Amino acid sequence: MSGASAEQLLGKHQGEDWRARFLDISDLIEILRDCIIDDEYTIPDDLNEAIILTSRGNALKSRLIRKEEVPAKEAHLMCALTLGHDELFVDIEATDPKALSSSIGRQLRDGAIRFPFIYSRDLYDLFADLFEEEKDYLSSEETMRLLQAIPCGVFQYGRYIIGPSGLTEAQSGRALRFSKRVPAFHCSDPVCRDLHSVVFSTGHNAEINSQQHKLVRYLESLETPEADWTGLAMELNNLSETHFGDHWIAPMVTLLGDCLGLEELRTLIAELGDSQPIGERPELLEMAPWHSDQTIAAALDKLVLAGEIVVPEGEVRAPISTGHLRSGAYRLQPQLGSQGVRFVSGDPGLPTLRQRELIRKLYLSGNDDDRHELD
Protein backbone atom coordinates (compact mmCIF):
# COMPACT_ATOMS: atom_id res chain seq x y z
CA MET A 1 0.00 0.00 0.00
CA SER A 2 1.32 3.44 -0.86
CA GLY A 3 0.38 6.78 0.69
CA ALA A 4 -1.35 9.77 -0.86
CA SER A 5 0.27 10.79 -4.15
CA ALA A 6 1.21 14.36 -5.05
CA GLU A 7 -1.92 14.61 -7.26
CA GLN A 8 -4.17 13.49 -4.41
CA LEU A 9 -2.54 15.99 -2.07
CA LEU A 10 -3.00 18.72 -4.69
CA GLY A 11 -6.70 17.89 -4.86
CA LYS A 12 -7.00 18.02 -1.10
CA HIS A 13 -5.22 21.35 -0.71
CA GLN A 14 -6.82 23.75 -3.19
CA GLY A 15 -6.45 27.06 -1.35
CA GLU A 16 -3.95 29.42 -3.00
CA ASP A 17 -2.87 30.92 0.33
CA TRP A 18 -2.31 27.52 1.88
CA ARG A 19 -0.30 26.38 -1.14
CA ALA A 20 1.94 29.43 -1.14
CA ARG A 21 2.55 29.06 2.58
CA PHE A 22 3.27 25.35 2.26
CA LEU A 23 5.82 26.04 -0.48
CA ASP A 24 7.61 28.71 1.56
CA ILE A 25 7.71 26.56 4.67
CA SER A 26 8.87 23.43 2.85
CA ASP A 27 11.64 25.42 1.09
CA LEU A 28 12.81 26.83 4.43
CA ILE A 29 12.82 23.37 5.95
CA GLU A 30 14.83 22.08 2.97
CA ILE A 31 17.43 24.76 3.72
CA LEU A 32 17.68 23.49 7.29
CA ARG A 33 18.01 19.91 6.06
CA ASP A 34 20.77 20.73 3.56
CA CYS A 35 22.90 23.13 5.60
CA ILE A 36 26.12 22.15 7.33
CA ILE A 37 26.46 22.50 11.09
CA ASP A 38 29.28 21.65 13.45
CA ASP A 39 29.12 19.18 16.34
CA GLU A 40 28.50 21.97 18.86
CA TYR A 41 25.34 23.23 17.16
CA THR A 42 22.51 24.05 19.56
CA ILE A 43 18.99 24.84 18.42
CA PRO A 44 18.14 28.50 19.02
CA ASP A 45 14.78 29.32 20.62
CA ASP A 46 13.67 31.64 17.83
CA LEU A 47 13.90 28.75 15.37
CA ASN A 48 11.72 26.38 17.36
CA GLU A 49 9.29 29.12 18.33
CA ALA A 50 8.70 29.92 14.65
CA ILE A 51 7.65 26.36 13.88
CA ILE A 52 4.24 25.29 15.18
CA LEU A 53 3.47 21.58 15.11
CA THR A 54 0.09 20.04 14.35
CA SER A 55 -1.59 17.85 16.99
CA ARG A 56 -0.11 14.86 15.14
CA GLY A 57 3.34 16.49 15.28
CA ASN A 58 2.95 17.26 18.96
CA ALA A 59 1.92 13.68 19.74
CA LEU A 60 5.01 12.43 17.95
CA LYS A 61 7.19 14.98 19.72
CA SER A 62 6.01 13.88 23.18
CA ARG A 63 6.47 10.25 22.22
CA LEU A 64 10.08 10.98 21.24
CA ILE A 65 10.65 12.75 24.55
CA ARG A 66 8.95 10.12 26.73
CA LYS A 67 9.86 6.85 25.06
CA GLU A 68 13.03 7.61 23.15
CA GLU A 69 14.61 10.08 25.59
CA VAL A 70 15.12 12.72 22.92
CA PRO A 71 15.66 16.22 24.39
CA ALA A 72 12.60 18.48 23.91
CA LYS A 73 14.20 21.00 21.56
CA GLU A 74 15.62 18.31 19.32
CA ALA A 75 12.31 16.43 19.32
CA HIS A 76 10.50 19.57 18.15
CA LEU A 77 12.92 20.31 15.32
CA MET A 78 13.18 16.67 14.26
CA CYS A 79 9.40 16.54 13.72
CA ALA A 80 9.59 19.79 11.76
CA LEU A 81 12.45 18.61 9.53
CA THR A 82 10.44 15.52 8.64
CA LEU A 83 7.54 17.81 7.60
CA GLY A 84 5.03 14.97 7.77
CA HIS A 85 4.26 11.32 7.27
CA ASP A 86 0.70 10.35 6.32
CA GLU A 87 -0.33 13.68 7.86
CA LEU A 88 1.66 16.88 8.25
CA PHE A 89 3.64 17.41 11.47
CA VAL A 90 4.07 21.11 10.76
CA ASP A 91 1.01 23.35 11.09
CA ILE A 92 1.11 25.31 7.84
CA GLU A 93 -1.46 27.91 8.89
CA ALA A 94 0.06 28.60 12.30
CA THR A 95 3.76 28.54 11.37
CA ASP A 96 5.09 31.96 10.45
CA PRO A 97 7.41 31.77 7.39
CA LYS A 98 8.71 35.29 8.14
CA ALA A 99 9.83 34.35 11.66
CA LEU A 100 11.33 31.12 10.37
CA SER A 101 13.27 32.84 7.59
CA SER A 102 14.53 35.54 9.92
CA SER A 103 15.91 32.90 12.31
CA ILE A 104 17.60 31.04 9.44
CA GLY A 105 18.99 34.31 8.06
CA ARG A 106 20.47 35.24 11.42
CA GLN A 107 22.08 31.81 11.82
CA LEU A 108 23.57 32.09 8.32
CA ARG A 109 25.09 35.47 9.16
CA ASP A 110 26.40 34.13 12.50
CA GLY A 111 27.92 31.10 10.77
CA ALA A 112 25.92 28.68 12.93
CA ILE A 113 24.60 27.09 9.74
CA ARG A 114 26.74 27.12 6.63
CA PHE A 115 26.78 26.66 2.88
CA PRO A 116 30.09 26.76 0.99
CA PHE A 117 30.91 29.19 -1.81
CA ILE A 118 31.35 26.79 -4.72
CA TYR A 119 31.77 29.26 -7.61
CA SER A 120 35.05 30.31 -9.15
CA ARG A 121 38.24 28.94 -7.59
CA ASP A 122 38.13 29.74 -3.85
CA LEU A 123 37.22 26.22 -2.82
CA TYR A 124 39.52 24.55 -5.36
CA ASP A 125 42.57 26.54 -4.26
CA LEU A 126 41.88 26.11 -0.57
CA PHE A 127 41.32 22.38 -0.96
CA ALA A 128 44.73 22.08 -2.63
CA ASP A 129 46.32 24.09 0.19
CA LEU A 130 44.69 22.15 3.02
CA PHE A 131 44.84 18.58 1.76
CA GLU A 132 47.88 17.02 0.18
CA GLU A 133 46.10 13.86 -0.90
CA GLU A 134 43.09 13.18 -3.04
CA LYS A 135 40.03 12.69 -0.89
CA ASP A 136 36.54 11.45 -1.64
CA TYR A 137 35.14 12.36 1.71
CA LEU A 138 35.76 15.04 4.34
CA SER A 139 35.07 14.49 8.02
CA SER A 140 32.92 17.00 9.83
CA GLU A 141 36.04 18.60 11.31
CA GLU A 142 37.75 18.88 7.89
CA THR A 143 34.55 20.25 6.34
CA MET A 144 34.36 22.97 8.98
CA ARG A 145 38.02 23.88 8.51
CA LEU A 146 37.36 24.40 4.82
CA LEU A 147 34.07 26.21 5.29
CA GLN A 148 35.48 28.65 7.79
CA ALA A 149 38.06 29.80 5.25
CA ILE A 150 35.79 30.36 2.24
CA PRO A 151 32.90 32.82 1.85
CA CYS A 152 29.26 31.98 2.37
CA GLY A 153 27.70 30.19 -0.59
CA VAL A 154 24.97 31.53 -2.86
CA PHE A 155 22.02 29.22 -3.45
CA GLN A 156 18.30 29.54 -3.95
CA TYR A 157 15.48 27.44 -2.56
CA GLY A 158 12.18 28.52 -4.06
CA ARG A 159 11.90 32.25 -3.34
CA TYR A 160 14.68 32.25 -0.73
CA ILE A 161 18.19 33.31 -1.69
CA ILE A 162 21.01 32.18 0.58
CA GLY A 163 24.05 34.47 0.61
CA PRO A 164 26.51 36.47 2.71
CA SER A 165 23.75 38.78 3.95
CA GLY A 166 21.63 35.87 5.18
CA LEU A 167 18.32 35.05 3.59
CA THR A 168 16.60 37.34 1.09
CA GLU A 169 13.41 36.86 -0.89
CA ALA A 170 13.40 36.90 -4.69
CA GLN A 171 10.38 37.77 -6.79
CA SER A 172 10.35 34.46 -8.58
CA GLY A 173 11.27 30.97 -7.52
CA ARG A 174 14.31 29.02 -8.65
CA ALA A 175 15.88 25.70 -7.75
CA LEU A 176 19.60 26.20 -7.14
CA ARG A 177 20.18 23.79 -4.32
CA PHE A 178 23.25 22.72 -2.45
CA SER A 179 24.35 19.13 -2.56
CA LYS A 180 27.10 17.95 -0.23
CA ARG A 181 29.00 16.46 -3.17
CA VAL A 182 31.19 19.29 -4.46
CA PRO A 183 33.82 19.35 -7.26
CA ALA A 184 37.13 20.19 -5.58
CA PHE A 185 40.31 18.76 -7.14
CA HIS A 186 42.12 17.30 -10.12
CA CYS A 187 43.76 13.94 -9.63
CA SER A 188 47.39 13.07 -10.33
CA ASP A 189 46.60 11.12 -13.51
CA PRO A 190 48.12 13.31 -16.27
CA VAL A 191 45.54 12.36 -18.89
CA CYS A 192 42.46 12.81 -16.67
CA ARG A 193 40.78 16.19 -17.13
CA ASP A 194 37.87 15.60 -14.75
CA LEU A 195 37.27 17.81 -11.78
CA HIS A 196 36.72 15.31 -9.00
CA SER A 197 34.20 15.69 -6.23
CA VAL A 198 34.49 15.45 -2.50
CA VAL A 199 31.60 14.82 -0.12
CA PHE A 200 31.18 17.25 2.77
CA SER A 201 29.81 16.08 6.07
CA THR A 202 27.70 17.85 8.59
CA GLY A 203 28.14 17.51 12.36
CA HIS A 204 26.94 13.97 12.99
CA ASN A 205 27.53 14.35 16.72
CA ALA A 206 25.32 17.42 17.03
CA GLU A 207 22.28 16.34 19.03
CA ILE A 208 19.83 17.12 16.21
CA ASN A 209 21.64 14.67 13.92
CA SER A 210 22.68 12.01 16.42
CA GLN A 211 19.08 11.54 17.60
CA GLN A 212 17.60 11.44 14.11
CA HIS A 213 17.74 7.66 13.71
CA LYS A 214 15.19 7.23 16.52
CA LEU A 215 12.56 9.13 14.55
CA VAL A 216 13.43 7.35 11.30
CA ARG A 217 13.13 3.96 13.01
CA TYR A 218 9.79 4.87 14.55
CA LEU A 219 8.32 6.14 11.26
CA GLU A 220 9.48 3.01 9.48
CA SER A 221 7.67 0.89 12.05
CA LEU A 222 4.33 2.58 11.32
CA GLU A 223 1.62 0.73 9.40
CA THR A 224 0.41 3.86 7.61
CA PRO A 225 2.33 4.68 4.42
CA GLU A 226 3.98 8.05 3.84
CA ALA A 227 2.27 10.69 1.71
CA ASP A 228 4.30 12.37 -1.04
CA TRP A 229 4.85 15.80 0.54
CA THR A 230 8.02 16.39 -1.46
CA GLY A 231 6.09 15.59 -4.64
CA LEU A 232 3.44 18.13 -3.64
CA ALA A 233 6.12 20.83 -3.26
CA MET A 234 7.52 19.89 -6.70
CA GLU A 235 4.08 20.08 -8.31
CA LEU A 236 3.44 23.47 -6.74
CA ASN A 237 6.81 24.69 -7.99
CA ASN A 238 5.91 23.49 -11.49
CA LEU A 239 9.20 21.65 -11.47
CA SER A 240 7.80 18.75 -13.45
CA GLU A 241 6.66 21.17 -16.14
CA THR A 242 9.93 23.09 -16.48
CA HIS A 243 11.91 19.87 -16.32
CA PHE A 244 11.36 19.29 -20.05
CA GLY A 245 11.72 22.96 -20.95
CA ASP A 246 14.25 24.11 -23.49
CA HIS A 247 15.60 27.51 -22.52
CA TRP A 248 15.93 29.59 -19.43
CA ILE A 249 15.93 26.92 -16.83
CA ALA A 250 19.66 26.37 -16.94
CA PRO A 251 21.18 27.80 -13.77
CA MET A 252 22.39 31.18 -15.04
CA VAL A 253 23.98 31.95 -11.70
CA THR A 254 26.68 29.34 -12.40
CA LEU A 255 27.68 31.21 -15.56
CA LEU A 256 28.01 34.48 -13.64
CA GLY A 257 29.86 32.86 -10.75
CA ASP A 258 32.35 30.87 -12.81
CA CYS A 259 32.77 32.72 -16.07
CA LEU A 260 32.73 36.46 -15.38
CA GLY A 261 35.64 38.48 -14.01
CA LEU A 262 34.92 40.59 -10.95
CA GLU A 263 34.62 43.81 -12.97
CA GLU A 264 32.45 42.09 -15.57
CA LEU A 265 30.19 40.81 -12.80
CA ARG A 266 29.96 44.33 -11.38
CA THR A 267 29.04 45.70 -14.82
CA LEU A 268 26.30 43.08 -15.18
CA ILE A 269 24.80 43.71 -11.73
CA ALA A 270 24.77 47.45 -12.51
CA GLU A 271 23.04 46.71 -15.83
CA LEU A 272 20.42 44.70 -13.95
CA GLY A 273 19.53 47.84 -12.04
CA ASP A 274 21.53 47.80 -8.81
CA SER A 275 23.05 51.24 -9.24
CA GLN A 276 26.23 50.98 -7.15
CA PRO A 277 27.08 47.32 -6.71
CA ILE A 278 29.75 46.89 -4.05
CA GLY A 279 31.50 43.93 -2.55
CA GLU A 280 33.38 40.92 -3.81
CA ARG A 281 32.15 37.99 -5.88
CA PRO A 282 29.83 36.44 -3.20
CA GLU A 283 28.13 39.78 -2.40
CA LEU A 284 27.67 40.57 -6.11
CA LEU A 285 26.48 37.09 -6.95
CA GLU A 286 23.91 37.22 -4.19
CA MET A 287 22.17 40.10 -6.01
CA ALA A 288 21.76 38.23 -9.31
CA PRO A 289 19.03 35.72 -8.34
CA TRP A 290 16.72 38.65 -7.65
CA HIS A 291 16.20 38.67 -11.38
CA SER A 292 14.79 35.93 -13.57
CA ASP A 293 17.15 33.88 -15.74
CA GLN A 294 15.60 35.49 -18.85
CA THR A 295 16.41 38.97 -17.57
CA ILE A 296 19.97 38.00 -16.63
CA ALA A 297 20.60 36.36 -20.01
CA ALA A 298 19.16 39.35 -21.89
CA ALA A 299 21.33 41.78 -19.92
CA LEU A 300 24.42 39.67 -20.56
CA ASP A 301 23.62 39.46 -24.30
CA LYS A 302 23.29 43.23 -24.44
CA LEU A 303 26.61 43.86 -22.67
CA VAL A 304 28.50 41.37 -24.84
CA LEU A 305 27.04 42.70 -28.10
CA ALA A 306 27.79 46.29 -27.02
CA GLY A 307 31.37 45.32 -26.25
CA GLU A 308 31.10 46.28 -22.58
CA ILE A 309 31.96 42.71 -21.71
CA VAL A 310 34.57 41.60 -24.20
CA VAL A 311 34.33 38.02 -25.42
CA PRO A 312 36.60 37.56 -28.47
CA GLU A 313 35.29 35.55 -31.40
CA GLY A 314 35.96 31.86 -30.87
CA GLU A 315 36.05 32.09 -27.09
CA VAL A 316 33.46 29.99 -25.28
CA ARG A 317 33.18 30.33 -21.54
CA ALA A 318 31.57 27.47 -19.63
CA PRO A 319 31.17 26.86 -15.89
CA ILE A 320 33.91 24.66 -14.46
CA SER A 321 33.56 24.57 -10.67
CA THR A 322 29.81 24.43 -11.06
CA GLY A 323 29.81 22.47 -14.32
CA HIS A 324 27.86 19.75 -12.52
CA LEU A 325 24.89 22.05 -11.91
CA ARG A 326 22.93 21.52 -15.09
CA SER A 327 19.19 21.68 -15.40
CA GLY A 328 16.22 19.72 -16.59
CA ALA A 329 15.85 16.59 -18.66
CA TYR A 330 18.35 17.86 -21.27
CA ARG A 331 20.97 18.75 -18.64
CA LEU A 332 21.32 22.26 -20.04
CA GLN A 333 24.37 24.35 -19.28
CA PRO A 334 24.63 28.10 -19.88
CA GLN A 335 27.70 29.21 -21.85
CA LEU A 336 28.97 32.61 -22.97
CA GLY A 337 30.40 33.39 -26.40
CA SER A 338 30.94 36.40 -28.66
CA GLN A 339 27.22 36.38 -29.59
CA GLY A 340 26.04 36.21 -25.98
CA VAL A 341 24.48 33.43 -23.93
CA ARG A 342 23.51 29.99 -25.17
CA PHE A 343 22.19 26.89 -23.45
CA VAL A 344 23.99 23.73 -24.39
CA SER A 345 22.92 20.15 -23.90
CA GLY A 346 25.02 17.03 -24.22
CA ASP A 347 22.03 15.40 -25.95
CA PRO A 348 22.70 15.28 -29.73
CA GLY A 349 18.95 15.18 -30.49
CA LEU A 350 18.13 18.51 -28.90
CA PRO A 351 19.12 20.81 -31.83
CA THR A 352 16.63 19.01 -34.11
CA LEU A 353 13.89 19.36 -31.52
CA ARG A 354 14.73 23.05 -31.14
CA GLN A 355 14.60 23.60 -34.90
CA ARG A 356 11.22 21.89 -35.14
CA GLU A 357 9.90 24.03 -32.29
CA LEU A 358 11.16 27.17 -34.02
CA ILE A 359 9.45 26.27 -37.30
CA ARG A 360 6.25 25.43 -35.46
CA LYS A 361 6.30 28.80 -33.74
CA LEU A 362 7.06 30.75 -36.91
CA TYR A 363 4.75 29.04 -39.36
CA LEU A 364 2.23 26.72 -37.82
CA SER A 365 0.28 29.05 -35.58
CA GLY A 366 -2.95 28.51 -37.52
CA ASN A 367 -2.28 31.07 -40.23
CA ASP A 368 -2.75 29.64 -43.78
CA ASP A 369 -0.51 32.24 -45.46
CA ASP A 370 2.35 31.28 -43.17
CA ARG A 371 1.80 27.64 -43.94
CA HIS A 372 1.88 28.25 -47.69
CA GLU A 373 5.10 30.20 -47.31
CA LEU A 374 6.61 27.25 -45.48
CA ASP A 375 5.46 24.90 -48.26
Cβ proximity to Zn ion, 110 vs 194, nearer residue = 194
52 touches 58 (CB < 8 A)? no
Residues 192-231 that bind Zn ion (CB under 5 A): 192, 194
Is 224:3 a contact under the CB 8 Å cutoff? yes
Q: Comparing C-alpha atoms, which of 105, 122, 164, 176 is closest to residue 287?
A: 164
Site stretch for Zn ion (CB under 5 A), options 102-110, 180-188, 319-327, 357-365: 180-188
Of 45 and 134, nearer to Zn ion (C-beta) is 134
Closest of 350, 349, 352, 161 to residue 245, by C-alpha: 350
Maximum separation of any 2 CA atoms in the chain, in Å? 77
Distances (CA, A) of 27 to 69, 242, 307, 329: 29, 18, 39, 22
- Smallest gap from residue 195 Cβ to Zn ion (A): 8
Which one of the spans 90-98, 144-152, 185-193, 259-267 is the region binding Zn ion (CB under 5 A)? 185-193
197/295 with CB nearer Zn ion: 197
- Residue closer to Zn ion by CB (options 187, 359) is 187
- Stretch in the footprint of Zn ion (CB under 5 A) among 115-123, 187-195, 239-247, 331-339: 187-195
Q: DSSP readout, 57-101?
A: HHHHHHHHHHHH---HHHHHHHHHHH-BSSSBSB-TTTS-HHHHH
Contact status: 72 vs Zn ion (CB under 5 A): no
Interface with Zn ion by CB under 5 A: which range of 46-54, 144-152, 179-187, 223-231?
Answer: 179-187
User: Exactly one of 59, 94, 187, 364 binds Zn ion (CB under 5 A); which one?
Assistant: 187
CA distances from 283 to 97, 165, 166 (A): 24, 8, 11
Q: How many helices (H) and strands (E) does the chain have?
A: 18, 6
State the minimum distance, in angstroms, from the CB of residue 199 to Zn ion.
16
Judged by beta carbon, residue 138 or residue 303, the one nearer Zn ion is 138
* Cβ-based nearer residue to Zn ion, 26 or 321: 321
Q: Please name the helix (run of DSSP H) or strand (run of DSSP E) that holds residue 114, with its range, or none.
A: none
The amino acid present at 199, given as its one-letter code, is V
Q: How far is the CB of 188 from Zn ion (least distance, A)?
A: 8
User: Contacts with Zn ion: how many residues (CB under 5 A)?
Assistant: 4
| Binding span for Zn ion by CB under 5 A among 21-29, 81-89, 191-199, 356-364 | 191-199
Instruction: Tell me the closest approach of the beta carbon of residue 131 to Zn ion, in angstroms.
Output: 15
In the complex with Zn ion, the residue whose CB is nearer, 194 or 347, is 194
Q: Which residues contact 155 (CB under 8 A, 6 or more apart)?
A: 115, 161, 162, 176, 177, 178
Compute the least distance from the CB of residue 190 to Zn ion, in Å: 9
User: Which long-range CB contacts under 8 A does 56-64 form with residues at least 24 apart?
Assistant: 56/84, 56/87, 56/88, 56/89, 57/84, 57/88, 57/89, 57/90, 57/91, 60/89, 60/215, 60/218, 63/218, 64/211, 64/214, 64/215, 64/218
Q: What SS3 state is found at 327?
A: strand
Query: Smallest distance, Å, CB 333 to Zn ion?
Result: 20
Cβ closest to Zn ion, residue 209 vs residue 321: 321
Stretch that binds Zn ion, among 39-47, 99-107, 181-189, 341-349 (CB under 5 A): 181-189
Nearer to Zn ion, 130 or 187 (CB): 187
- Residues interacting with Zn ion, by CB under 5 A? 187, 189, 192, 194
